[in-house]
Amino acid sequence: MSNLPETRTSRVSVRLIAIQILVFSLLLTLGGRLWYLQIRNGQEYATEARNNHVQQVIEPATRGSILDARGVPLADNQTRLVVSASRTELLKMKDDGKAVLGRLAKVLGMSEKEIRNKVRLCDAKTPQPCWNGSPYQPIPITDEATTQQALQIRERSEAFPGISAEPTAVRRYAAPGDANTAQVLGYLSPVTDEEINKAKDTDSPFLRSDQIGRSGLERTYDRYLRGKAAVTRYEVDNLGRVIGQAASEKGQGGASVVTSIDARVQAIAEKQLDQAMKDARKVHDRNTGTNYKADSGAVVVMEAKTGRVVAMASNPSYDPNAWVGGISGKDYAHLTGKDSNYPLLNRAIQGQAAPGSIFKVISTTAAINAGYDFNGHYPCTSSYSIGGQTFKNFEGEGHGDISLGRALEVSCDTVFYRLSHEEWKKDGGDKPKKDPNDWFYKTAHQFGLGKETGIDLPNEVTGRVPDRKWKNSFWKANKAGWCKQAKAWPKKKDFATKLAREGCLEGMKLHAYDSINYAIGQGDTLVTPIQMATIYGAIANGGTLYNPTVGKAIVSPDGKKVQPVRPTSHGKLPDSPKTLRQMDSALAGVATRGTAAWRFQGWPQDKIPMHAKTGTAEVYGKQTTSWFATYTKDYTIVMTISQGGTGSGASGPAVRNIYNALYGVDEKGGIDPKAALLPKPQSSLPKIEGDGTIQAQPIKPYVPPSPSPSASESPQ
């Protein structure tokens, strides 16, 4: 019995020691955690704590306007009632905001699915519509809310938590005088997190609320147009009550971009291109037995002496207003689907095709630089044969012995076949010399083909000069596929298998037929309308290859600072002044007695000398591509229509009508200065007031006169 108190005392001591150890462990853990939070990561958490007590209110800057050369707005802003949803607030609700969005759908007259799709976030697997911007900023549902709809939302705010309806400045693409100008202007969409991170250390960082240009001028001049948003920072306590104001940043509206586009000429160019394509679809193609498809086209109107673009149209087109406030799934599918034929493409700078006979100005220069006489005598036979292959002149016509100038006028293929073939043989044929001259290919590069023109629009393509270097690289890239397909040759001798077999065995060689086709702008040669407009503009101005420009000046928001966009050059044509004069005379002959003469009947040639070259390019598996390249001393116009027929046949009337409008020429050849839109290139800027307001001149619709009477169609 005497040991019992001692045993109890021992147990109590053990328990006390255990409790002491537990308490010590807890204190040690707490101390370690405090050291980690306050010492090791103290600065980081202190910064975060301060940030938690500063709230930002961002007021987006008003985006600058894009104006035509006369100050007419092509893209500006208008106030609309915008209904937006806060994704953050919706996700705090038990049903993720489903009930709220359902009520909103009834008010706006939209489907619940459409609204839910608009507020979901975009990723690689999510189709449009979806939100591509920051998930923390209000997501626009519609920018076309009525006053009554906005009042219902605001007056019943308890039924619409996380939903706002506010007047907001949104982008407007005005289309003055029906000048759509879609591909030139481009469109906007929200900035992404990736873009924010990429630009955070630059001199032009993005805010999560920013809309940025995705194509066209909106993208090229985005940093000027975007302006700077106003940021007001408030200090708040833990309950969100404002207790003071922190450092804030003043906003500034975006600058305006004045362009060289004339909205009146732009409207005419678009209408004439569209009409030319419609007319082409009524013409029977005797090669296919069907009417021409005329599925796409482009036209460029450019100042010959500066490279400034007066008009640029691409067809099919679209309405850039479809992107304002977030594009719908239906519109997005229409704009990007195969059946739409990709209207977002600017075919003036992104459409590539074989140029056909408008390429012959390059072949003429190549021949002269290779030592041939411009005024020499060259046989224009109805066909030209090599190695069992016969290459025919257009419609099998022959013109006897003619000069290079006359060969341009009548577009004689066989003259250029022969010259190119002779040079190919001099260079060693299938077994080229160590340093072949390659005059015809070298000259194309000197004319600026195979590379960008430098136009101030994004995503310009380079086209292609199929020289020896390209042939070899193309063969290496495709050899495996060709050789695999060629294994079927003994049993399958269709055209595609034959081509694959030839490619497998000799695809690295520059064959005689390659050079012959190349000399008339056929085969693997690819050019863009802007490239050819630049080349014909250079012939018109004496040889200077200008970088085409659409932007003319950047005007600060207050109008006090004007930054001009000056014309720049990327080279000179490899022609002597004498050769340029000779080609100029021959191209005038094309318009008066050559393949384009029937389209310029009644033109006042003595007062406004017209120069032209027609082109009809054959494309395997498709109908012919129509090309028409022209210039006066002031302007260059190039038009192309895919699967449209002949050069003068499909594109000729439209180009003539554009010139009629520029110079005020009626169908009988009379000139009315009052009717002329642009008798001379416009060098001045519209009047700018001290507050940055630009005085726009009124625009009136222009109805071109009826086309001149036509004779039967001439070749190409």
Which tens digit of pLDDT belongs to each residue from 215-265? Answer: 999 999 999 999 887 777 767 666 556 666 777 778 788 999 999 999 999
pLDDT over 80 (residue 645): yes
Q: What is the pLDDT of residues 315-324, one digit of tens each?
A: 999 999 988 8
Quickly state the pLDDT bin for 440 (edges 50, 70, 90): very high
| Alpha-helical regions (H) of 370-412 | 404-410
> Position 651: which residue type?
S
Quickly state the pLDDT bin for 482 (edges 50, 70, 90): very high
Please give the pLDDT value at position 74. Answer: 97
Quickly state the pLDDT bin for 711 (edges 50, 70, 90): very low
The stretch 697-706 carries a mean pLDDT of 62
Q: List, in sequence order, every residue forming a beta bridge with 56; answer none if it has no partner.
A: 233
> Position 674: which residue type?
K
Contact between residue 64 and residue 126 where contact means Cβ atoms under 8 Å apart: no
Query: Which of 128 and 160 is assigned the larger pLDDT?
Result: 160
Q: DSSP secondary-structure letter at 162?
A: T
Reduced to 3 states (helix: H, G, I; strand: E, B; else coil), residue 690 is: coil
The residue assigned the tokens 């001692």 is 6
Quickly state the pLDDT bin for 646 (edges 50, 70, 90): very high
Q: Which two tokens stand for residue 27?
A: 């204190």
* CB within 8 Å of 126: residues ≥ 6 apart: 120
Residue 454 and residue 439: Cα distance in Å, rounded?
25
Query: Which of 456 and 30 is assigned the larger pLDDT?
Result: 456
The residue assigned the tokens 């013109």 is 399
Residue 42 and residue 56: Cα distance in Å, rounded?
24
Reduced to 3 states (helix: H, G, I; strand: E, B; else coil), residue 46 is: helix
Q: What is the pLDDT of residues 326-375, one digit of tens each?
A: 787 788 888 888 888 999 999 999 999 999 999 999 999 999 999 999 99
Quickly state the pLDDT bin for 129 (edges 50, 70, 90): confident
**Backbone phi, psi, residue 638, to 5°:** -125, 130
**Backbone phi, psi, residue 42, to 5°:** -60, -45
Quickly state the pLDDT bin for 31 (edges 50, 70, 90): confident
pLDDT over 50 (residue 708): no
Residue 535 and residue 548: Cα distance in Å, rounded?
11
- Report the b/e string of 512-533 with b at 16+ CB within 10 A: bbbbbbbbbbbbebbbbbbbbb
Residue 226 and residue 230: Cα distance in Å, rounded?
12
Contact between residue 662 and residue 678 where contact means Cβ atoms under 8 Å apart: yes
The stretch 551-576 carries a mean pLDDT of 94
Quickly state the pLDDT bin for 707 (edges 50, 70, 90): very low
Contact between residue 342 and residue 298 where contact means Cβ atoms under 8 Å apart: no
Reduced to 3 states (helix: H, G, I; strand: E, B; else coil), residue 353 is: strand
pTM, two decimals, is: 0.83
Q: DSSP secondary-structure letter at 138?
A: P
Across the chain, which distance is largest between two alpha carbons, in Å? 143
Q: List, in sequence order, every residue forming a beta bridge with 190; answer none if it has no partner.
A: 211
The residue assigned the tokens 């799709």 is 117
Residue 399 and residue 714: Cα distance in Å, rounded?
14
Please give the pLDDT value at position 190. Answer: 82
The residue assigned the tokens 């489903």 is 98
Of residues 352, 151, 400, 255, the one with CA closest to residue 692 = 255
Contact between residue 622 and residue 292 where contact means Cβ atoms under 8 Å apart: no
CA 283 to chain centre: 30
The stretch 12-33 carries a mean pLDDT of 76
